[in-house]
Amino acid sequence: MKILLTGFEPFGGSEVNPSEQVVRAIARRPPRRVRLATAILPVDQQKGPAALWSAVEQHWPEAVLCLGEAAGRTAISIERVAVNLLDYRIADNAGNQVSDQPIVAEGPAAYFVTLPVRALLTALQEAGIPAELSLSAGTFLCNQVTYVLLHRLHESGRALPAGFIHLPALPEQAARRSPPIASMSLETMERAVRIALETMVRECSRKG
């Protein structure tokens, strides 16, 4: 199964982003039965969504899994909804900070992701990895690229599993906060995403 896996570059003053590190680690040794394509997206209001869709058009995968960092989360967060809202708490890497604007003018208020979210949650929990279902991906770039992806897939009539998973901070990121925040090791996050990819293959095979 051909899957596009994406992460983000560092942002918000951090020198690392766990999503980028996980993508690069898995690209070095993809799971069995996965033909992996990858992309690291810029944290930029214009370039981020464009880079994601460019990767989709380049590879035309059978599924898309996007990853991002959510510092302060205590578990692998499987997002369920992308909302049509830009409301940046901080500026992106290009200095853009927008508030109360739609991602797509006149677009639907929200899209549900098309990943098998309940199966992903069960697989991660059974593997002993802290995981949760999260209602939405927020209002920053993570939500924006997910909404644009789902909107363009809908507009093009392409039905394929697509969605977003948020990762906690790395221990080295958490240690620099005062007070320190929750974190998760890179090894655990990589294992979680491998399990997610394998689950996506299994669930798609069942439906196929």
Rounded to whole angstroms, the Cα distance separating 176 from 196 reads 29
List the beta bridge partners of residue 134. 79
> In sequence order, what are the residues at sequence separation of 6 or more whose Cβ sits closer than 8 angstroms to the Cβ of residue 34?
1, 2, 3, 197, 198, 201
Q: Which of 142, 151, 190, 203 is catalytic?
A: 142
- Helix 18-28 vs helix 186-207: crossing angle, to nearest 10: 60
Residue 166 appears among annotated catalytic residues: yes
Task: Tokens for 76, please give them.
Answer: 């692998």
Residue 154 appears among annotated catalytic residues: no
Q: Which of 79, 151, 190, 203 is catalytic?
A: 79
The overall longest dimension of the chain from CA atoms, in Å, is: 49
- Helix 186-207 vs helix 117-126: crossing angle, to nearest 10: 130
Residue 142 appears among annotated catalytic residues: yes
Q: Which of 20, 166, 190, 203 is catalytic?
A: 166
Phi then psi dihedrals of residue 33, to 5 deg = 70, 10
Residues that are catalytic:
79, 142, 166
